[in-house]
């Protein structure tokens, strides 16, 4: 976009090229600048305020002027990034929130003296996103394996381990994972966490993982009716996490229910759905998948135990994204498959790579709707037997057996997609949204940005009605947590949102098993 309009964010110097008429909020997203916008760009919250330092923006609308007034901001000095549109090259300065605007210093070059951080504490992986609070600029991000995995791959296994006497070990493993993620994120930007002052961390995650790290009992998560003990937990002042981050304010993003955590709350905030929206389905696809249906004045949400396959774990040749991680596949005329990575030679499958190859095998006729792998077809030379079941070589050389997917791996994905499909249908029905009015299907998770929506539709993970309105949002929960750490007053928005969401209990009633079986085929489905 060489002829685009340049938007510069002071004092960091972060830049974005956008089309004339685009909003500053979109430019911020491109530039890696965190501007909280929980109202979704409707001018209702006033938290994405910026100061225009040079250049020209379109005149403020009456709606924007009124929103600034409600936020106590001078419309002659501040503009709302969600509404202000660029007319030419501009330089703006994030205010974080106009009523709490504080002075800013110089830009960041390779290190930071002060940082805030968002943490996404998931069952399989832990993400960290570091932000320079003086400029709202992203410094670095990283995702590492959750060290609690040695106690089991799923939530209930870890709950059982905690109840059997391993709660302290699980807590220490979670703290170690958070520190590793923070250190990896800092290293990405060329500085060490030990050399920086972490002012504030916002911790979002599924309810069980957050309970374990803060030392809350998980006994209530073991049986129905499920309950948690995180009500009223806002700030962690002591315990292993506080000791590991001395002098750091640690904010806990409140959960919705026992298995619908603060990560859903943070993700809805990041995607501008905290104040309600019009007919949106939000899907966080991970080990503990969380699905929400968002209507204008009503949000219904539930969770489904999908297992770790969506995150690249629990499968034969799986792993997290990074060097060697296959993120997608393309058809190859000679061998049928061609693995692609973001960097390095292919060594393992990420969650998006697994979804991509199964969708491609389905299109090539090597994967039936019932989940059975079939060797006959264009990639016949790639099939072999591994672990006593049929397998498919995925390496560039069809005879290379170092990277492959097995029939057992396929069954893992089949189970995950069935659970997600049931959860999606349930919350959609609860929301009362009319199918023809569906406006957006937001897909996020550790692999959200690397997926091809067509693959999700082919395998029946997403409903057919989403074909024209899928929006990928990588790491929405992590970005939402980072926004709360940057502007801690947003924890009140998070708490209000968590209290408004209506929880749909998939365990209630006796039809889940029947619905699950009906949802197992790899084929398109409709809501």
Name beta bridge partners: 204: 120
CA dihedral 133, 137, 140, 141 (to 10 degrees): 90
At residue 383, the pLDDT reads: 96
Together in a domain, 388 and 464: yes
The rounded distance, in Å, linking the Cα atoms of 420 and 418 is 5
> Could you report how far apart the first and last alpha carbons of the chain are, in Å?
38
Angle (CA) 276-282-212 rounded to 5° is 100
* DSSP 8-state code for residue 300: E
What is the maximal distance between C-alpha atoms in the chain? Answer: 71
The rounded distance, in Å, linking the Cα atoms of 324 and 219 is 40
Percentages of the chain per state (helix, strand, coil), in multiples of 5? 35, 25, 40
pLDDT over 80 at 105, yes or no: no
pLDDT single digits (tens) 111-138: 457 899 999 999 989 999 999 998 889 9
Residue 260 lies in a domain: no
Residue 471 lies in a domain: yes
Q: What range defines the domain where residue 525 resides?
A: 277-476+484-527
pLDDT single digits (tens) 385-431: 998 999 999 998 889 999 999 999 999 999 999 999 999 999 999 98
Is 128:205 a contact under the CB 8 Å cutoff? no
The residue among 77, 100, 123 that closes a domain is 100
Q: Which residue has the tokens 């830049």?
A: 15
Name beta bridge partners: 214: none
**Cis preceding linkage at 11, omega within 30:** yes
**Domain count across the chain:** 3
Together in a domain, 135 and 33: no
Together in a domain, 90 and 118: no
Using CA of residue 227, residue 231, residue 235, residue 238, what is the dihedral sign? negative
* DSSP 8-state code for residue 57: B
Alpha helices in 227-330 (DSSP H): 239-244, 262-270
At residue 446, the pLDDT reads: 66
Task: Walk across the sheet containing 389-393 and list its strands.
Answer: 383-386, 389-393, 404-406
Residue 270 lies in a domain: no
Q: Supply 495's token pair.
A: 């708490």
pLDDT single digits (tens) 258-293: 999 999 999 999 999 987 667 999 999 988 899 999
């Amino acid at each position: 976009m060489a002829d685009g309009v340049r938007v510069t964010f002071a004092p960091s110097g972060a830049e974005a090229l956008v089309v004339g008429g685009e909003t500053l909020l979109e430019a911020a997203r491109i530039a890696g600048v965190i501007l909280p916008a929980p109202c979704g760009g409707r001018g209702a919250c006033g938290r994405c305020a910026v100061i225009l330092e040079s250049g020209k923006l379109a005149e403020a609308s009456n709606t924007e002027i009124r929103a600034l007034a409600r936020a106590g901001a001078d419309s002659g000095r501040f503009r709302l990034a969600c509404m202000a549109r660029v007319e030419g090259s501009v330089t703006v300065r994030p205010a974080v929130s106009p009523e709490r605007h504080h002075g800013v210093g110089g830009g960041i070059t390779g290190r930071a003296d002060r940082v805030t951080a968002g943490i996404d504490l998931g069952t399989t992986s832990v993400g960290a996103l570091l932000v320079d609070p003086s400029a709202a600029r992203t410094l670095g991000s990283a995702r590492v394996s959750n060290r609690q995995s040695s106690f089991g791959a799923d939530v209930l296994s870890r709950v059982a381990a905690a109840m059997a006497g391993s709660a302290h070990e699980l807590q220490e493993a979670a703290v170690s994972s958070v520190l590793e993620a923070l250190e990896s994120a800092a290293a990405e930007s060329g500085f060490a966490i030990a050399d920086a002052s972490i002012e504030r961390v916002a911790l979002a995650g599924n309810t069980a993982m957050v309970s374990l790290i803060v030392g809350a009992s998980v006994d209530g998560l073991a049986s129905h009716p499920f309950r948690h003990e995180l009500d009223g937990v806002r700030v962690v002042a002591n315990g292993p996490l506080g000791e590991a981050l001395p002098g750091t304010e640690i904010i806990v993003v409140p959960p919705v229910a026992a298995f619908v955590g603060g990560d859903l709350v943070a993700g809805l905030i990041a995607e501008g759905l905290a104040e309600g929206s019009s007919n949106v389905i939000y899907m966080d696809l991970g080990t503990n998948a969380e699905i929400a249906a968002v209507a204008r004045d009503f949000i219904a949400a539930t969770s489904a135990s999908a297992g770790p396959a969506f995150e690249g774990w629990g499968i034969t040749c799986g792993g997290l994204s990074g060097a060697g991680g296959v993120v997608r596949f393309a058809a190859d005329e000679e061998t049928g498959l061609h693995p692609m990575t973001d960097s390095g030679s292919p060594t393992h499958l990420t969650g998006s790579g697994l979804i991509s190859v199964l969708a491609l095998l389905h299109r090539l006729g090597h994967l039936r709707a019932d989940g059975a792998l079939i060797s006959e077809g264009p990639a016949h030379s790639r099939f072999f037997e591994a672990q006593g079941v049929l397998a498919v070589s995925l390496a560039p050389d069809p005879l290379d057996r170092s990277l492959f997917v097995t029939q057992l791996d396929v069954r893992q994905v089949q189970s995950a997609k069935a659970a997600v499909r049931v959860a999606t249908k349930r919350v959609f029905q609860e929301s009362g949204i009319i199918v023809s009015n569906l406006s957006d299907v937001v897909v996020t998770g550790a692999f959200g940005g690397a997926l091809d929506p067509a693959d999700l539709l082919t395998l029946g993970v997403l409903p057919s009605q989403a074909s024209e309105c899928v929006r990928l949002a990588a790491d929405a929960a992590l970005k939402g947590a980072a926004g709360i750490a940057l502007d801690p007053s947003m924890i009140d928005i998070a708490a209000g949102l968590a209290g408004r969401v209506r929880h749909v209990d998939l365990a209630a009633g006796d039809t889940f098993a029947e619905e699950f079986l009906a949802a197992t085929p790899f084929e398109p489905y409709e809501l």
